[in-house]
Amino acid sequence: MTLLELRHVSRIHGSGASAVTALNDVSFAVQPGELVAVMGPSGSGKSTLLNLAGGLDTPTNGDVLVEGVSLGELSSRALAAVRRRSVGYVFQDLNLLPALTAAENVSLPRELDGVPLRRARTEALATLERFGLSDVADRFPDDLSGGQQQRVAIARAFIGERRLLLADEPTGALDTTTGESVLRLLREQCAAGAGGVLVTHEARHAAWADRIVFLRDGRVVDETGEARRPNGDAIATGGRS
């Protein structure tokens, strides 16, 4: 099943003379196993697209579907459940809770899922280990380096087998090799059946994606690679292997 689909989505902020069209008739889909990168100049609508995809914002026009369910038709409670269970986010400004330790930040989404505390903690520690963060599990965000905070935020998005991973500039404060290891993990998670959308302005990082979508002034202006069908076949034939 298609994990994420945007159908003719537009988002206009404000109205009248001060209206800003952040996204203009954008359609695109992410299949299981696929990692899609979104690139574009500052203000081109990348974060807007991600917020709409994750149900954190509502389109002015068009439909957003997560695992076949149109978010616009859901009650706010049902929407909250989709956001919690299906979607993992890494925000541009991280959003770690300063009063919680790294491990608590990572286990929080699982606790909200209703997973028993002890199991949530075990899962959190395992996820932190995958990101090379075992040493900092019991530290608070303020006592972590920028790069460590970033990896904790990513670990939080990965916990609990979330099927759709949305990441806004997740590699910002990371050095080359750490940034790359994060992308490898994102890549692996997608190969294992998740779908991912990665917003980045770094070409080197976008290159880990199966497909790169270019936004400009709220529109998709170009794409590399071919959109996949839900069964995993590429739609277009010929071209590059």
Ligand X SMILES: Nc1ncnc2c1ncn2[C@@H]1O[C@H](COP(=O)(O)OP(=O)(O)OP(=O)(O)O)[C@@H](O)[C@H]1O
Question: Which parts of this chain interact with other proteins (CB under 8 A)?
Answer: 39, 41, 184, 187, 201-204, 206-209, 212, 214, 216, 221-225, 240
Task: Choose among other proteins, Mg ion, ligand X, none what residue 45 binds, the Cβ cut-off being 5 to 8 Å by kind.
Answer: ligand X
The Cα–Cα gap between 164 and 118 comes to: 25
Pairwise CA distance, residues 134 & 132, whole Å = 6
> Using CA atoms, how far apart are residues 157 and 154, in angstroms rounded to an integer?
5
67/59 Cα distance (integer angstroms): 18
Closest distance to Mg ion from the beta carbon of 46 (Å)? 5
Identified binder of Mg ion from the candidate list 10, 31, 47, 189, rule CB under 5 A? 47
Give the span between the Cα atoms of 218 and 100, in whole angstroms.
37
Q: Which two tokens stand for residue 4?
A: 């994420």
Which region among 12-20, 106-114, 115-123, 202-210 touches ligand X (by CB under 6 A)?
12-20
Of 8, 13, 204, 229, the residue at the interface with ligand X (CB under 6 A) is 13
- What is the distance between the alpha carbons of residues 162 and 156, in angstroms, rounded to a whole number? 10
Map the footprint of ligand X across residues 36-55, applying CB under 6 A: 40, 42-48
Least Å distance, CB 187 to other proteins, is 7
Contact 109, 87 (CB under 8 A): no
Q: Give the nearest distance from C-beta 18 to ligand X in angstroms.
A: 8
The CA distance from 235 to 226, in Å, is 7
Q: Is 162 in the site for ligand X (CB under 6 A)?
A: no
Partner whose binding site includes residue 221, from ligand X, Mg ion, other proteins, none (CB under 5 to 8 Å by kind)? other proteins
Least distance between other proteins and beta carbon 2 (Å): 22
Per partner kind, with CB cut-offs from 5 to 8 A, the member of ligand X, other proteins, Mg ion, none near residue 40 is ligand X
Instruction: Assess 51 for contact with Mg ion (CB under 5 A).
Output: no
Beta bridge pairs of residue 6: 28, 64
- At closest approach, how far in Å is the CB of 14 from ligand X? 6
Return the HEC string of 26-61. Answer: EEEEECCCCEEEEECCCCCCHHHHHHHHCCCCCCCE
Q: Is 151 in the site for ligand X (CB under 6 A)?
A: no
Provide the binding-site residues for ligand X, judged by CB under 6 A.
13-14, 20, 22, 40, 42-48
